[in-house]
Amino acid sequence: MIKKFKPAIAAAAVSMAMLSQFAMAAEEQFFPLIDYRVGPYGSNGQAFYGGFIDYLNYVNLKEKGVNGVQMTYEECETEYNNAKGVECYERLKSKAAKSAGPLHTMSTGISYALIDKSAQDKLPLAMMGYGRTDAVDGSVFPYAFPLVTTYQMQASAIVKFLKDKNGGSLAGKKIVYLYHDSAYGKEAIVALNAEASLNKFEMVQIPVAHPGNEQGAQWLKIRQEKPDFVIFWGWGVMNQTALKAAQKVAFPREKMIGSWWTGSEEDVVPAGDAAKGYMAATWNVAGKQVPVIADIEKVVYGAGKGNLQDKAKIGTILYNRGVSAAVLSVEAIRKGQEKYGKGKALTGEQTRWALENLNINDARLKVLGATDLLPEIKTSCDNHEGSGKVKIQQWDGAKWVPVSGWIEGNKGLIHPLFQASAKQYAKEKGITPRDCSKEK
């Protein structure tokens, strides 16, 4: 009898084995990439998302995924347009229903447009150094993660850097805050006002209308004010225009310090020599000296699976930022698998938990080959930022050179501002905040 059915049993066994293998291979962690590679800011997106995708492929090639789970992705082009961002989200969300890594939009506008939708759909939204900053308070914003740093903590860290540079005091100094006249530019004002009263320096606010390709009047005003420093919150063409205009009124670039949106190669190269000496904050360093960056080039590009056509972008600030974002995202998947089962893809809800329980210290960064690429990070329900640290870097005419260690903003001063704002938001929206003491 058995003999009679032997071939059938064997065939069934082979089929089962193949099916199970297929099932194993089908275990995939999906990353919905709402990105931009064309349009006004396309070159920023190319480097960032190129780095992000390269790291996902690196994990697949180097360690065959996270515990066997392959990292997969699908891109959707937004052209940095809010309406298209929402359209992309709607297109990708059904695919993300089964398994989802964090969403990265690289756009404050798109993040704002998605913040409520993503919470409803239980898909975690990462906003690394941008987006809605009071989402640091996870009790009100469970699905939104302004990871690593926020505009306010960054402004506070810049003030700390300037203070240290001035022998520990800014009393009596004058600082001009030159900013893009938009929600983005205005975000840091509250933090700088708080720092000004605390450190007794005078702050002069000078807005620049979008797009900022003409700043003659603003820089003549700066010349008249004779500030000790200019803190600069620019975006796009405003950055190069400011550097050129500073040169035009002979304001020393060494006294200008910008936010991380003003501190990539794309921001300074078009300004030529006018950018030399200019400083900017960053939450990741540039260069291929970081082991993981060099290894990505070797492993991923060596295998012909690199995402960028222009390999010159590897090691740039924005490329390394994309890798940093992917490192945190993949580490979240790893963390989630520890709780929900190794070798299993995570749902958006599970990834949310993992993002809220990240603990990546220097030892772990070393294992990842990412020492000093980004700061240590430890998140929790009441702290979705998890770090608040930036480095200050200086453009030497050819490359960005770090001129400080990791500097943490004044958390005691800034985080209560987030909590107050989040509380107000909860009140307006009728949200009952979670009790973070009960979250693990």
Partner 1 sequence: MNFFFEVLIGGLLSGVMYALVALGFVMIYKASGVFNFAQGAMVYLAALSVVGCMEKGAPLWLAIILAFAIMTAFGIATEKFVLRKLVNQPPIALFMATIGLAFFIEGVAPMVFGSEPRALELGIVDEPIPWVLDNWNMVISKFDLVAAGVAAVLVATLALFFQYTRIGRALRAVADDHQAALSIGIPLQNIWAIVWGVAGFVALVAGMMWGARNGVQFALTFTALKALPVLILGGFTSVPGAIVGGLIIGASEKLAEIYIPPVMQDWFGGNFGGIEGWFPYVLALLFLLVRPEGLFGEKHIDRV
Query: Shortest distance, CB of residue 398 to partner 1, whole angstroms?
Result: 13
The answer to whether 155 contacts partner 1 (rule: CB under 8 A) is no
Cα–Cα distance for residue pair 433/427, rounded to 1 Å: 10
- The continuous run of DSSP H or E covering 334 comes out as helix 317-340
Binding of partner 1 by 205 (CB under 8 A): yes
Closer CB to partner 1, 213 or 361, in the complex: 213
Strand partners, 389: 408
The verdict on 202 binding partner 1 (CB under 8 A) reads no
- Answer yes or no whether residue 291 interacts with partner 1 by CB under 8 A: no
If one asks whether residue 39 binds partner 1 (CB under 8 A), the answer comes out as yes
> Which SS3 state, helix, strand or coil, does residue 392 take?
strand
From 92-100, 247-255, 325-333, 418-426, give the range in contact with partner 1 by CB under 8 A.
Answer: 247-255
Could you write out the DSSP letters of every residue in 200-246? T-EEEEEEE-TT----HHHHHHHHHH--SEEEEE--THHHHHHHHHH
Which of 16, 38, 303, 403 touches partner 1 by CB under 8 A? 38
Residue placing its CB nearer to partner 1 in the complex, 270 or 287: 270
Give the Å distances, CA to CA, from 397 to 67, 191, 206, 394, 400: 43, 31, 27, 9, 8
- Residues contacting residue 312 through CB under 8 Å, at least 6 positions apart: none
**Which of 135, 148, 208, 422 touches partner 1 (CB under 8 A)?**
208
The C-alpha atoms of residue 264 and residue 51 are separated, in whole angstroms, by 14
Q: Which stretch binds partner 1 (CB under 8 A): 54-62, 106-114, 221-229, 291-299?
A: 221-229
Given the complex with partner 1, which of 220 and 363 has the nearer CB atom?
220
**Per-residue contact track with partner 1, 223 to 242, x per CB under 8 A?**
xx-----------xx--xx-
* 293 three-state secondary structure: helix
Q: Please state, in angstroms and as integers, the Cα–Cα distance from residue 105 to each residue in 34, 117, 129, 379, following that order.
A: 5, 14, 11, 20
Question: Which among 384, 440, 416 has a CA at the least distance from the CA of 132?
Answer: 384
Per rule CB under 8 A, is residue 266 in the interface with partner 1? yes
Q: For the chain, percent helix, then strand, then coil, each to nearest 5?
A: 50, 15, 35
For partner 1, which residue of 108, 154, 247, 410 counts as binding (CB under 8 A)?
247
Pairwise CA distance, residues 54 & 332, whole Å: 17
- Beta bridge pairs of residue 208: 180
Site string for partner 1, 40-79 (x = CB under 8 A): xxxx--x---------------------------------
Q: How many amino acids of this chain bind partner 1 (CB under 8 A)? A: 40
Least distance CB 215 / partner 1 (angstroms) = 9
Q: Report if residue 277 touches partner 1, rule: CB under 8 A.
A: no
Q: Is 159 in the site for partner 1 (CB under 8 A)?
A: no
Residue 311 found at the interface with partner 1 (CB under 8 A): no
- With respect to partner 1, which residue has the nearer C-beta, 9 or 217? 217
Q: Which residues bind partner 1 (CB under 8 A)?
A: 38-43, 46, 181, 205-211, 213-214, 216-218, 220-221, 223-224, 236-237, 240-241, 244, 247-250, 266, 269-272, 274, 310
